[in-house]
Amino acid sequence: MKSRGPWATAVRRLMRDRAAVAALVLFVLIVILCLLAPAYAAWANVDPFRSTLDQIIKVNGVDVPVMEQSTEGLGLGYTPIGPTWELGNYFLGADNQGRDVMARLLYGGLNSLLIAGAATLLTLAIGTALGLAAGFFGGLIDTVLSRILDILWAFPVYLLAISLSIVLIAQGIEIGPITIQSGSLWLPIFIIGIVYIPYVARPVRGQVMALRESEFVLAAIGLGVPSHRILLRDILPNVSTTLIVFVPIMMALNMLTESALSFLSIGVQPPDASWGTIIQDGQTLLYTRPLVAMAPGIAIVITVLALNVLGDGMRDALDPRSKIRIGRG
């Protein structure tokens, strides 16, 4: 009878964690719903990026304007229609420009997930490379890289992200042949991916320094195995579990950071949308149409909660001893 490998055992542990499985199912469902954004907009026959101040829709067979004449005070201005609770027909109502909130919620979620996921991959790629180099080679390389990481670590994350966004949002980025325009989604991806590098590189460096003194690595070095082969074949697989656990946790942090930047108008730029920009659009409607701001806020809370619960489950599945240590602590 064949023994199960460590990955198969970890998957079995994860599947026995009901909270983690529920979080995984919920997150996958959110991703699927956001991927259906173009299909929903086509089915509802709406453009989530174009103002529709004079549109008339039917609600329960009655013609209703999307932007209703205000009845408060002097009757100046317009109030967007509230939720109709009819899928494909302004289900969550309209915002202050007459745009379908449900369609914008799905499109905004798609961009928020894209930015959070891409920024996570960028952080893990650069952070892992720096951690491997600093921990394995030591000496001058470790000193230089560690001081660079210390400088980034010294800045509060949001302060650094806001500062970079304010500087780069108007002019974009030009690094040799690579150019990122100011309105591109790659700009918040780059900024968010950079500010969290120390949070990955430092733990990886610590693990690599411990592995560097292990017997199998010392034996490989003694046999004259090239450094890059030792890093790729011996050390990287041993830190891969840590990197996997980082994925959902970093995605949650990146989503919160992106939402904060977009809410401050220094993240995702029009005509694109994200959950952060939709909250900003709805802040003037909190007293008349609160669901415009509450819907993306609730979506962020649910998604981040699912990612954190999933991250805890993956940590316990890949390293059961961590759960014991936490329980004893």
Report the predicted TM-score, pTM, of the whole model to 2 decimal places: 0.90
For residue 225, the domain's CATH number is: 1.10.3720.10
Domain residues for the domain of 179 are 31-46+83-328
pLDDT value at position 214? 84
C-alpha torsion sign, points 69, 70, 76, 79: negative
Q: Does residue 24 lie in a domain region?
A: no
Q: Does residue 62 lie in a domain region?
A: no
Q: Does residue 88 lie in a domain region?
A: yes
Structure tokens at 209: 């320094």
Written in H, E and C, the secondary structure of 126-168 is HHHHHHHHHHHHCHHHHHHHHHHHHHHHHCCHHHHHHHHHHHH
Name residue 197's amino acid.
Answer: I
What are the pLDDT digits (tens) for 28-80? 999 999 999 999 999 999 999 988 888 888 888 888 888 887 766 555 577 89
Residue 254's nearest CA partner among 180, 169, 153, 157 is 157
Q: Please name the helix (run of DSSP H) or strand (run of DSSP E) that holds residue 58, with its range, or none.
A: strand 56-59
Q: Does residue 185 lie in a domain region?
A: yes
Q: Does residue 2 lie in a domain region?
A: no
Start-to-end CA span in the chain (Å): 38
Q: Does residue 235 lie in a domain region?
A: yes
What are the pLDDT digits (tens) for 255-288? 999 999 999 999 998 889 999 999 999 998 888 8
Total domains present in the chain:
1
Q: Does residue 23 lie in a domain region?
A: no
- What are residue 62's phi and psi, to 5 degrees? -115, 135
Strand partners for 62: 59
Q: Does residue 14 lie in a domain region?
A: no
